[in-house]
Structure 1
Amino acid sequence: MQVVKKSFDRFLAVACVALFAVLVVTVVWQVFSRQVLNSPSAWTSELAQYLFVWLGLFGAALVFAERGHIAVDFVVRKFPPVVEKATAVFVQLAIIAFSALILVWGGYRVAEKSWGQALSGLPVTVGPLYLVMPITGIIIIFYALFHTLAVIRGDEEPIADTEPDVV
């Protein structure tokens, strides 16, 4: 399971860097063509929007790998260790349910319904672009299962300490 996690981590890190680089180049070209050439490029706005969405979802999945999302845990930290562990497992199960229902199932249905819908500025249809939702949903489910098992086994703390230590 650790090998799969490292593979997903590497894939997401490379994908986020690549998507961000393409996004920067796209936006720079958009500004240059509008301001310098006085001939705005029609495709850059649409491409930038989809790149931003893909980057956001892949970035969110990557943050799940490190349990780095925002957590209001000051109350849970006051509970006994058994309750902390149960709460951590419950949270991961809620993440799995959300990801399965909204990202995987909902994302698949949206992609399926818009598979043939053409984009005005790009030579692709919308459906394949929406596949990022089920893809990231599956990856997030994997990470949530990974962290759930790690918390149950005692390999990870129930409440992740992601704050840097201040000296």
Structure 2
Amino acid sequence: MEKLARLLARLDDVVLKATLVVCGSLLTAMVAVAALGVFCRFVLHASLSWSEEFDSYLFVWLTCLGAAAGVKLRAHPEVRVIPDRLPTLARAVVGDFTDAAIAVLGAILVVYGSDMITLMGAETASSLPISMVYPYLSIPVGGALLIWHSLVRIAVGHLAPGARDASVAGAGFVPEHI
């Protein structure tokens, strides 16, 4: 079981690293598009009709993927007053409950995000010749990543608690307060 837990933890780390690469690329593209829009507007005196809309779609993707990465890295704010005072077993139950709640939230995002894709599939962006499927696709993808990271954390925690220490979360990618 420990081999399976370590394999899951490594696969989870690969998913995280890929997500972070995509997030970095999205952020770079956002900065480049915003800079291009500003340059064209104020230097060339010819505004780009699409730059702000495109940036907002990139930002939606960055937010959805970044939220999932934050779950994996435990970078989201959390109140630890009660769990830190509980016995080890109760603390583990609270952790599993929290991860299960995050997985349920991810499932809600997958279901309703998929519905939004179905509803908006025939629509196109107002200033770009792209289908609205692409911006809305970020919702179920982010939700699926929330489910993945939460379920892997639960599984690894039960199969081999020591395997968590060998993952990215134990390798210095997490803020010190965690």
What TM-score results when the alignment is normalised by the length of structure 2? 0.84
* Whole-Å separation in 2 of the counterparts to 1:41 and 1:14: 27
Q: CA deviation at 1:92?
A: 0.6
Q: Separation in 2 of the partners of 1:63 and 1:52? A: 16
Deviation at 1:164?
2.1
Question: Partner residue of 1:137?
Answer: 143
2:4 alignment counterpart: none
Structure 2: state its 5+ residue gaps: 1-7
Gaps of 5+ in 1: none
| Greater share of residues in helix | 2
Partner of 1:20: 27
1:55-85 Cα offsets, whole Å, 9 max, x none, are: 1111111122222221111121111111111
Counterparts of 1:1-167 in structure 2, within 5 Å, are 1-101=8-108, 103-153=109-159, 154-155=161-162, 156=164, 164=176
Q: Distance in 1 between matches of 2:138 and 2:175?
A: 30
Which residue identity is paired with 1:4? L
Equivalent pairs: percent with the same residue?
Answer: 25
Shift of 1:163: 5.4
Contact 1:113 1:127 in 2 (8 A): no
Q: Please give the alpha-carbon distance, in whole angstroms, between the structure 1 residues aligned to 2:11 and 2:69.
A: 13
Report if aligned partners of 2:113, 2:137 keep a CA contact under 8 Å in 1. yes
Q: Cα distance, 1:137 vs. partner?
A: 1.1
Aligned length: 162
